[in-house]
Amino acid sequence: MPERTPHTEVEGAESSAFVAWPIELDGVTVRYPNGVVALNNVSLSIAAGEMVSVVGLSGSGKSTMIRTINGLVPATNGTVTVGPHTVTTLRGKALRELRGSVGMIFQGFNLADRASVYQNVLVGRFAHTATWKTMLGMASSEDREIVLRALDSVGMLEKVWGRAGALSGGQKQRIAIARALSQEPEVMLADEPVASLDPPTAHAVMTDLERINTERGLTVLVNLHLMDLARQYTTRMIGLRAGEVVYDGPATTATDADFEAIYGRPIQSRDRLGK
Amino acid sequence: MTNTLVLPPKPRTWPRNVGVVLALAAMTLLTTLPRLGGVEIDLGSIARNWSNAAERIGMLLQPDLSILPRTIEPMFQTLSMAIVGTVLAAALAIPLSLWAARPTNPNGLTRRAVRFVLNVVRAVPDLVYATILVAMVGVGTLPGVITLILFDVGIVVKLVSESIDSADSAYMEGGRAAGGTQTQINKVTALPQSWPVIASQVLYSLELNVRISAILGIVGAGGIGRLIDEVRGFYRYDALSTIIIEILVVVLIIEVVSNYLRKRLR
């Protein structure tokens, strides 16, 4: 990795005190108002700077689990700790500040299609900007710089003034990654980030996430339902079935039998993305 | 023939349908029987007063164009009332629409409060506003403009907030995950996202305003309506005809322009 050394130097100069955050779930249960128990007494800890995949079928609770980490879904029981914060006790401003340190990307990209790419990435600066400044449309030159650098790092700088809705799926996910990066987060969450993308684009986005982990050193937690992506891009894999952890171990050496245990059925061809 | 299809039991819908038909029939009956408080409609009066009507229709068919120069100033007054009313109403309606829609205002209490107030505002007919306001602030364009603002805010907020409610708002989660306040999310993402709907409804309210402000003058709220009231008072139906045609032309022009603009917005 010859280009990594200068890159880390630049990173070091900007934020010399950068330390990724660990994530800890302790006996977390989520029961939705309709009575569905999406997560049942889940305990796990993820070290700072790890790249972890959460694998499971749809309905297994992986979307719920990743949302308890930034408090988008409140835990009914148990505690979630991210870095110095106990997420489950945070409310209001403190919760928004924590979310500012946790980047997140989604299956459906969650961009405002009619707003410009620039505006969409500026969303990542919300937690660092006073509401009245946002109201007046006053982005600081520092925010502007961060937004443009984030767009450049995902190779989308030339689209900055275009509409987000005019882009392809892969490009939209890159914009979403830039939005998350512009938060300058300590942790990156990804909820099925490649499920609506074609195979080559999916690999490109996974490579972006891998780079965020190796070059910037962020803790990355990515929900996947495809076994080959989990094996190829992540070091540790957590298997969820019916809201419970059924596997926790290395991703590269996970056997087909391990995946069958996670899925609760024999492997099918749609469990792999292919090349 | 071994695998006959096993259908789930079909839900019975006929009792409900019969109920609906019976309810409609009962309502029709109740509203048409004068003894039961229904309205009395005497179609015979059309025939009895026909000679009267024919004379007036005759006058309407021969527009007196000599009134035209006198209509120009009040017509411009009507147009400027309509435009000023629309602009001020839009400025009020944009924040109110965001407060009245669920995705842009998750707080049920304030959302319901805004909706309730606007339901009340919308329930009062425009001519009632104009009559009361003329009594309060005096004859002229001011009561007319205030009437138009109240009327526009009512409909624009209703239509825009309902369209925000029904639109896909997944992008909100992106802003929330980034730690944004609701106000920040609304300003940077919800507003550009709803912009076409807002612009379209505001243009629509401009169309309505031209029509309404033509009438408002009848109760003293300024504009061409005052002239309508005057010529009608003197039974100058030929002049009235000219004014009606003029209003029609202006409304059509505004409609064509706003239709064009609304198409461009999509």
pLDDT at A5: 38
**Which residue reads 């059509």 in tokens?**
B252
Question: A245 vs chain B: nearest CA distance in angstroms?
Answer: 25
User: Does B107 reach chain A within 8 Å, measured CB to CB?
Assistant: no
> Which whole number is the average pLDDT over B126-145?
88
Tell me the per-residue pLDDT of A255-275, one tens digit each, with 9 for 90 and over. Answer: 888 888 888 888 787 788 775
Residue B116 placed within a domain: yes
Question: Mind telling me how many Å the CA of B192 is from chain A's nearest CA?
Answer: 5
Read off the pLDDT band of A243 (50, 70, 90). Answer: confident
Tokens matching residue A72: 């988008």
Give the rounded distance of the alpha carbon of A200 from its chain centre: 20
Please indicate whether, in this complex, the C-beta atoms of A96 and B175 are within 8 angstroms of each other.
no
Backbone angles phi, psi at A223, to 5 degrees: -80, 130
The DSSP element (H or E) to which A99 belongs, if any, is helix A92-100
Residues 6+ apart with CB under 8 A from A181: A103, A124, A150, A153, A154, A212
Q: Does A179 touch chain B (CB under 8 A)?
A: yes
Is residue A119 pLDDT above 50, yes or no? yes
Q: Which residue of B has its CA nearest to A126?
A: B180
Residues in contact with A168: Cβ distance below 8 Å, sequence separation at least 6, in sequence order: A201
Asked if the Cβ–Cβ distance from B178 to A180 is below 8 Å, we say yes
| Closest CA–CA distance from residue B265 to any residue of chain A (Å) | 11
Q: Does the predicted interface ipTM exceed a cut of 0.90?
A: no
Residue B30, domain member (yes or no): no
CA neighbor of B244 nearest in space, from B103, B56, B21 = B56
Residue B37 lies in a domain: no
* pLDDT digit string, tens, across residues B204-258: 898 888 888 878 888 887 788 888 888 888 888 888 889 889 888 988 898 898 8
Partner residues linked to A85 by β-bridges: A82
> What are the residues whose beta carbons fall under 8 Å from the beta carbon of A93, sequence distance 6 or more?
none
Contact A48, A1 (CB under 8 A): no
pLDDT digits (tens, 9 = 90+) for A28-53: 899 999 888 888 888 999 988 889 99
Contact yes or no for B178 and A135 at CB 8 A: no
CB contacts of A103 in chain B (<8 Å) are 178
**Which residue in B184, B192, B195 is closest to A126 by CB distance?**
B184
Examine residue B50 and state whether it is found in any structural domain, yes or no. Answer: no
Looking at residue B266, what is its pLDDT? 66
DSSP 8-class letter at A103: E
Q: Does residue A12 carry a pLDDT above 70?
A: no
Is residue B23 in some structural domain? no
What pLDDT is attached to residue B98?
93
Reference A216, options A37, A1, A19; nearest CA is: A19
The residue range of the domain holding B231 is 59-265
Q: Check CB contact of A119 with chain B, cutoff 8 Å.
A: yes
CB contact under 8 A, A127 and B178: yes
What is the domain-level CATH number for residue B144?
A: 1.10.3720.10
Structural domains in chain A, CATH included, are: 21-101+185-264 (3.40.50.300), 110-183 (no CATH)
Name the strands in the sheet holding A37-46, side by side, starting at the edge strand that comes first in the sequence.
Answer: A37-46, A23-31, A77-82, A85-86
Burial class (CB in 10 A: 0-12, 13-18, 19+), A11: middle
Q: How many domains does the structure of chain B reveal?
A: 1
Report the pLDDT value the prediction gives residue A13, as an integer from 0 to 100. 41
d(CA B217, CA B231): 12
Strands of A102-105's sheet, edge to edge?
A: A102-105, A187-191, A219-224, A51-55, A236-241, A244-250
Kindly report, residue by residue over A138-178, the tens digit of the pLDDT: 788 888 888 898 988 888 888 888 898 888 888 898 999 99
The tens digit of pLDDT for each residue in B48-73 reads: 888 888 888 888 888 888 888 888 88
Distance from CA of B176 to the nearest CA of A (A): 8
User: What does the DSSP assignment read for A46-65?
Assistant: E-TT-EEEEE--TTSSHHHH
Distance of CA A44 to the CA centre of its chain: 17
Residue with tokens 């512009």: A182
B208 is a domain residue: yes
Enter the pTM of the model. 0.79
- Residues 50-79 of chain A with CB under 8 A from chain B are 70, 72
**Contact status of A102 with chain B (Cβ, < 8 Å):** yes
Domain presence at residue B42: no
Residue A220 CA from chain centroid, whole number: 6
| Arithmetic mean of pLDDT over chain B | 87
